[in-house]
Structure 1
């Protein structure tokens, strides 16, 4: 066999995808199979073959992702990465990562690459840093009250709710809301044609006894201003008391009243005593509306990993919360074209970032730059860990850069890919 990846032929997709499922000891439904086939960009998918059998797979997806300041930037989404257990430790993953980043750079259209990781320790060696986290919660709604501000509650009362036991029936309303929320938060992805179906995937094996996916939309003057997709898992105690769960899959709203109306609806679903939410932003507003956070069972997990493919273009693509003029010395062993000193000058209106011979103010690896890029990880925190070095301590360069890189909202990836 050769360890050199090659581009997938359309006729090979089923076998290639089968190798991916096998590597993850997984299975899929016909609906999932058809959707993943339709979303795969075959010309950006690669693999390694041993004779006629694929033993390693990887793909790229053409996304547009929100960055601080609200711009939606072309981004390469790394996906469907696998190596067969019979072919581990032969450099196949390294070869595929090398091919992907070389291809992205050669195309010159996407300054960023992102991925989600099945194992968190894998991708740091290729320059990917954890850029966004997610919040999960198990809220005891039988003992925790939702306390809405009086004005918000009154405005929520004036809104109308429309509910369906078939989430797909309200797809158009949900997507209209989602499209308007994308520019508001770094890490969010535009859903181009076909991707609106991804959040509706609801295989029975993943329900854990819950109902099929349901949906509720909140309307103001007939126009959708928010939605929630959820399922209900009914349970009963030994004394026949109801002890059901609401499994929240997705919730978006355009304003506080719509947001409050949705959470109030979820709180009041009959025969349930808890809400289980698994992928929410770290700054989700409901955290400030509950009267007992100790009974909300919150936990934080890793979500989106990011690396600049082109440091100059990546840093120039976003805006900055405060004026900044700083020279960054970047080390990038895997993509050496990024290694060097870069002068970043910008503010809330835009930025430029170009190579320079000027002395560095800060030094860091491309992985740490990826961690801080969306504003969810402070450069000050990374400096505290010894991962960002202020060349002249006390110069104020670290404080200035950390303030500039910050985001007013936590970055968040709404769904996997």
Structure 2
């Protein structure tokens, strides 16, 4: 059967809502529905149509993130859905290929998604790039010694809301200092508010009057849930944990998320509490040539060559010459493969964002090249592990 793959029009958004509700087995109502409809209007949603009926869809969120402290335009893949009668017919394959074409057209050089199946999306060129830990610990884990909370201001979306602007600025500063963070625009801050309107904030203020850290949190029964935690320095981090600690008469446990590489909790006297490692984010380079042209190589002085394999974005296939002035596609016959680093698009994507060192990819059979080539590449790739906490 032949399907029509195209962008879904605004007057067809009702079909987006219906397929989402059916495939995800629960309906959005209230604030969640308001948020979804807002994003349905500003996203590029690719649909597979059987006549006038929507058979499957993929939404591409217009987002931004940092890679080694540099902002990149990113396409966030979400609400991937196909009605059961159209599954196992190649619909999703064609939708994802069409999405890659659309993201390239929109200048979204990279793409991020939360996979329902890692192996499925690896097949199409995405790969894991962030290991997250979900933590849960009893609040009496904190020692009873009084710490220094410093100057801390508490507010919510309904009380002292003007402080929210300071939080937004603080988050943006932190995001630009951190590899892999999503850059939040006003639409995203509105989304957080719509989805968790009861959240509260605690803002740590330094001695010079400047914000230095914050948490966004909700109090759910006997649980203190940390939704967001940003600290520009250790003083701010300790002040925020002291703020959480003084709630110990109100709650029995604290939950939240952190990056695995931060070794969360080991700074405390008793770090043996429940931690669950989650691999829930994957990344893909959409346009290799344009991505490499703006990638923040460090100390690039020698010419490098890269051979890329990409079965689903043919514009990425080929050999690239990289030097301090430009990135150029070259004919494979003009370059000795002994000079090339060779990787497929999925491994290359996670490598360049800092997930693992090149030696790891070589060991796993995901990168090949001479020892000299591997050494030269290792010199110029920044060594910053990523953090990504956005959910879409």
2:145 counterpart of 1:171: no
Question: Aligned Cα RMSD in Å?
Answer: 2.7
2:156 counterpart of 1:182: no
2:59 counterpart of 1:59: yes
C-alpha contact (below 8 Å) 2:150/2:205 kept by paired residues: no
- The structural deviation recorded for 1:168 is 9.1
Equivalenced residue count is: 383
- The structural deviation recorded for 1:186 is 2.1
SS for the counterpart of 1:19 is: helix
Name 1:386's counterpart in structure 2: 365
Of the three residues 382, 399, 402, the one matched with 2:378 is 402
SS for the counterpart of 2:255 is: strand
C-alpha contact (below 8 Å) 1:146/1:289 kept by paired residues: no
- Structure 1 residues 105 and 93, CA gap change in structure 2 (3 angstroms): same
Q: How does 1:120-131 map to 2 (within 5 A)?
A: 120-131=118-129
- Structure 1 residues 310 and 94, CA gap change in structure 2 (3 angstroms): same
- Structure 1 residues 264 and 203, CA gap change in structure 2 (3 angstroms): closer
Name 2:151's counterpart in structure 1: 159
Name 2:215's counterpart in structure 1: 228
With 166-175 and 375-384 compared, the bigger mean Cα shift is at 166-175
Moved >6 Å (runs of 4+): none
CA deviations over 1:265-299 (Å, ceiling 9, x no partner): 1123133232111x32234475342122222x223
Matches of 1:146 and 1:326, distance apart in 2: 56
Of the three residues 359, 370, 378, the one matched with 2:336 is 359
C-alpha contact (below 8 Å) 2:318/2:329 kept by paired residues: yes
- Structure 1 residues 202 and 44, CA gap change in structure 2 (3 angstroms): closer
Matches of 1:379 and 1:228, distance apart in 2: 35
C-alpha contact (below 8 Å) 2:128/2:279 kept by paired residues: yes
2:356 counterpart of 1:377: yes
Alignment TM-score, normalising by the size of structure 2: 0.88
CA deviations over 1:12-53 (Å, ceiling 9, x no partner): 112212212211112212211111221235572121233443
Structure 2: segments with no counterpart, 5+ residues = none
- The structural deviation recorded for 1:166 is 5.5
Q: How does 1:32-181 map to 2 (within 5 A)?
A: 32-41=32-41, 44-68=44-68, 70-107=69-106, 109-145=107-143, 157-164=149-156, 169=161, 170-181=163-174
Alignment TM-score, normalising by the size of structure 1: 0.83
Structure 1: segments with no counterpart, 5+ residues = 205-211, 235-243
CA deviations over 1:343-401 (Å, ceiling 9, x no partner): 3345xxxx7432233223321101100111211222211111111112x3xx3322342
- The structural deviation recorded for 1:190 is 1.9
- The structural deviation recorded for 1:192 is 2.0
- Structure 1 residues 145 and 43, CA gap change in structure 2 (3 angstroms): closer
2:302 counterpart of 1:315: no
Matches of 1:176 and 1:214, distance apart in 2: 17
SS for the counterpart of 1:396 is: helix
CA deviations over 1:242-275 (Å, ceiling 9, x no partner): xx32111111122221222112211231332321
Matches of 1:185 and 1:299, distance apart in 2: 23
